[in-house]
Each structure stands twice: as structure tokens, then as C-alpha cells.
């Protein structure tokens, strides 16, 4: 049995949980705590806008070999998860789990949706294929108005996958749901025994720090999601980060994490400033998922394809400028 399952309360060890623990022996690294860097998976698409499963094998090898990143967060913001059909989301989840087997430590599947039954269906599916975790965003059309309503929604999804670690994905700039995480975490394990942590994609470091202060980063995993200011989040004690830039700046960001851990704060700052220099530059040009797809394509050589409407392709001008900027950066490791 995995360490993770052993740590969970006994009612949690349902038949499904036991069945899954067998499954997880042959997929990913069982029981390893989610920490360090997690790449937010881009969803590769063909030129005509279909999901392109055929490059995921190469994508996994690229992350592991070239970026030193061994965790992936599938069907999230960067993966255009909310723009995909349920069928496409399942196909992508299956392919990431299949290709990640023996190569990745964690394959986390985002299963959030506006429709509760769809989200539950995706949660059951993620459990059945042996995903190492599931994450859910707050529903964002009809929104929960308080903590209890949000937890009730999350609980109804989490309970469909009783053997799978559950993460809340907090991204108020996109969902418009601003319920503070500090409040949400109060007593959450009683409602959601599988609760394992938060992907925190907001700039409110007071909220984040209070979450860590009250719960300890040993109990839950706190993963930060605003790549341009990860160093600030490290200072308040996050366990790691989930983000789009770790697809192509994973190796550099890992060097920042190492410098911070040493601790060599001046070196960590140097990395953060340079990462920030690139992001500040592209943000001014207009930076989103479409641009991330373009950057990943020129850095990795793996064709990520166009984004799905309403997003539109990055312009040739953006690509040329972003590439020139990235190439001009002189990193402290001499690269």
C-alpha cells in the first residue's frame, strides 16, 4: 500500500481505494508527496484543431530529459481543459497516464466542470485509469457564494474518487470566485478525507501564508501558480509550483528552487529576475495560452498547434520577439 493511502483515515480505505493501490503500483511513483515543479500540460492540437495525442509520448520525454520536470497537471487552464469535450478530456487523461507510467512521478488530472455530473464522471474516470491526483476549480458560471457552498460542490466530486488525492485549484482571476482559501481549509478534512492540497493561482500572499501558517506544509501540499513571483511564495513556505512556464523554463526554475533551498537568496533572486524579465516582456505583448503554445513549440520543437476558439494563434511578430528575448537572456549557470 502506498504511504499516501496509509496516512489517510481508515473509512477512506474503501474497496476502490484498495483496488487503486494495486493499480498505482504499476503507474507513477506511489505515495510520493507532490512537491517541486509541476508542468501545466499544454494540449497539443492538429492544425485543424483536433487534440493531437500522438506527440504526448515525445512531450513526456522532453519534460523529463530536457526540463527535469516529472510532474504534470493535465486539462487545466494551460491545457484548455474547459474548452475540451468530456470525451477529449478522458482521452488526454488516459494518454498522459499511459505515457507517464514509469517516467513521471505524478499525473494530476483537472476534473473541474460547470456541470457536477460531468465533473463526477471525470473524477471516476481519473480514478479508474490510476491518476495520482485530481484537482477541481470552483464552478464559475453559477458561482458558490460562500465557503460552505464551494466545499459542498468539491465534496461531491472528491467522493466519486475515494482512493485519489484531491486538490482544490484556486484561480480567482479566471473563475471570479474569491472565497479565501484560508477559510476554505478550515475543517476541510472532515468533509473531504482525500483532501491533499491547493494549487494556489492568485497573488494574495497573505491568504497563502495564512493557509500555510494554520495547516503546515507537511499536512497539505501548497503549490503556487503565478510563475513570475514564485520566489515570494517560496518565502512563505510553499511545497512547489504548478505552472505553464515549467514546460520550457523548468530546468531554470529548478535551479532557482535549489538556490533558495541552499540557501543562496541572491542566486535565487537572479533566476527570478530573469524569469520575470522574459514574462514581463511577453505579458506586455499579450500573453496567454495561445502564446504559451507558440513558445513551447519553438523551444521544444514539438508542435503544440493552435489554441481552440475563442483563443487565437499567437502572431508571427509575437513569436519572433519572444524568441529573440528568450535567446538574449544570459543565465547564471552560463546557458
Ligand X SMILES: CC(=O)N[C@H](C=O)[C@@H](O)[C@H](O)[C@H](O)CO
Sorted by sequence, the CB contacts under 8 Å of residue 209 that are 6+ apart come out as 236, 237
Is 69 a binder of ligand CC(=O)C(=O)O (CB under 6 A)?
Answer: no
Given the residues 59, 62, 169, 271, select the one marked as catalytic.
169
Residue of the chain from 79, 130, 144, 243 that contacts ligand X (CB under 6 A): 243
Closest CB to ligand X: residue number: 243
For the bound state, the minimum distance from the C-beta of residue 226 to ligand X, rounded and expressed in Å, comes to 5
Q: Binding residue per annotation — 292?
A: no
147 is a catalytic site residue? no
Calpha distance 224→202 (Å, rounded) = 8
Is 43 a binder of ligand X (CB under 6 A)?
Answer: no
Residue 157 interacting entry, from ligand X, ligand CC(=O)C(=O)O, none, C-beta within 5 to 8 Å by type: none
| Closer Cβ to ligand CC(=O)C(=O)O, 2 or 73, answer by number | 73
| Closer Cβ to ligand CC(=O)C(=O)O, 130 or 225, answer by number | 225
Residue of the chain from 52, 99, 215, 244 that contacts ligand CC(=O)C(=O)O (CB under 6 A): 244
Cα–Cα distances in Å, from 28 out to 100, 132, 161, 261, 327? 7, 7, 18, 26, 34
Which of these ranges, 22-30, 92-100, 237-245, 317-325, lies near ligand X under the rule CB under 6 A?
237-245
For the bound state, the minimum distance from the C-beta of residue 80 to ligand CC(=O)C(=O)O, rounded and expressed in Å, comes to 9
Is 238 a binder of ligand X (CB under 6 A)?
Answer: no
Residue of the chain from 162, 225, 240, 250 that contacts ligand X (CB under 6 A): 225
For the bound state, the minimum distance from the C-beta of residue 167 to ligand CC(=O)C(=O)O, rounded and expressed in Å, comes to 11
Calpha distance 93→334 (Å, rounded) = 37
Sorted by sequence, the CB contacts under 8 Å of residue 39 that are 6+ apart come out as 63, 67, 69, 71, 72, 73, 242, 243, 244, 246, 247, 250
169 is a catalytic site residue? yes
Is 240 a binder of ligand X (CB under 6 A)?
Answer: no
Is 78 a binder of ligand CC(=O)C(=O)O (CB under 6 A)?
Answer: yes
Residue of the chain from 77, 119, 175, 194 that contacts ligand CC(=O)C(=O)O (CB under 6 A): 77
Residue of the chain from 242, 295, 304, 314 that contacts ligand CC(=O)C(=O)O (CB under 6 A): 242
| Residues 201 and 170: beta-carbon distance below 8 Å | yes
Which of these ranges, 72-80, 213-221, 258-266, 298-306, lies near ligand CC(=O)C(=O)O under the rule CB under 6 A?
72-80
For the bound state, the minimum distance from the C-beta of residue 250 to ligand X, rounded and expressed in Å, comes to 12
Calpha distance 163→8 (Å, rounded) = 10
Residues making contact with ligand X (CB under 6 A): 40, 77-78, 201, 225-228, 243-245, 279
Residue ranges for the known binding site for pyruvate are 78, 242
Residues known to be catalytic: 169, 199
Amino acid at each position: 500500500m502506498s504511504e499516501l493511502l496509509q496516512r489517510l483515515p481508515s473509512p477512506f480505505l474503501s474497496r476502490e481505494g484498495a483496488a487503486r493501490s494495486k493499480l498505482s503500483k504499476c503507474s507513477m511513483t506511489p505515495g510520493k508527496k507532490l512537491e517541486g515543479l509541476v508542468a501545466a500540460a499544454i494540449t497539443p492540437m492538429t492544425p485543424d484543431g483536433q487534440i493531437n495525442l500522438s506527440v504526448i509520448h515525445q512531450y513526456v520525454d522532453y519534460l523529463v530529459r530536457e526540463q527535469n520536470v516529472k510532474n504534470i497537471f493535465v486539462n487545466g487552464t494551460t491545457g484548455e481543459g474547459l474548452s475540451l469535450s468530456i470525451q477529449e478530456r478522458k482521452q488526454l487523461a488516459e494518454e498522459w497516464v499511459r505515457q507517464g507510467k514509469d517516467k513521471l512521478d505524478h499525473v494530476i488530472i483537472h476534473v473541474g466542470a460547470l456541470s457536477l455530473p460531468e465533473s463526477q464522471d471525470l473524477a471516476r474516470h481519473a480514478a479508474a485509469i490510476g491518476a495520482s491526483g485530481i484537482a477541481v476549480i470552483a464552478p464559475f458560471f453559477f458561482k458558490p457564494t460562500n465557503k460552505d457552498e464551494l466545499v459542498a460542490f468539491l465534496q461531491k466530486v472528491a467522493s466519486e474518487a475515494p482512493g485519489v488525492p484531491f486538490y482544490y485549484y484556486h484561480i480567482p482571476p479566471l473563475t471570479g470566485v474569491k472565497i479565501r482559501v484560508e477559510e476554505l481549509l478550515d475543517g476541510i478534512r472532515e468533509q473531504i478525507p482525500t483532501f491533499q492540497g491547493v494549487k494556489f493561482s492568485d497573488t494574495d500572499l497573505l491568504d497563502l501564508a495564512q493557509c500555510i501558517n494554520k495547516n503546515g506544509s507537511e499536512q497539505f501540499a501548497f503549490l503556487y501558480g503565478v510563475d513570475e513571483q514564485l520566489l515570494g511564495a517560496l518565502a512563505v513556505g510553499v511545497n512547489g509550483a504548478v505552472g505553464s512556464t515549467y514546460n520550457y523554463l523548468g530546468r531554470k526554475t529548478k535551479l532557482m528552487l535549489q538556490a533558495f533551498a541552499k540557501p543562496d537568496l541572491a542566486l535565487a533572486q537572479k533566476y527570478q529576475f530573469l524569469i520575470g524579465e522574459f514574462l514581463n516582456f511577453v505579458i506586455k505583448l499579450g500573453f496567454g495560452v495561445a502564446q504559451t503554445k507558440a513558445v513551447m513549440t519553438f523551444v521544444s520543437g514539438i508542435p503544440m498547434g493552435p489554441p481552440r476558439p475563442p483563443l487565437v494563434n499567437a502572431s508571427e511578430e509575437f513569436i519572433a520577439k519572444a524568441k529573440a528575448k528568450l535567446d538574449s537572456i544570459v543565465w547564471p549557470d552560463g546557458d
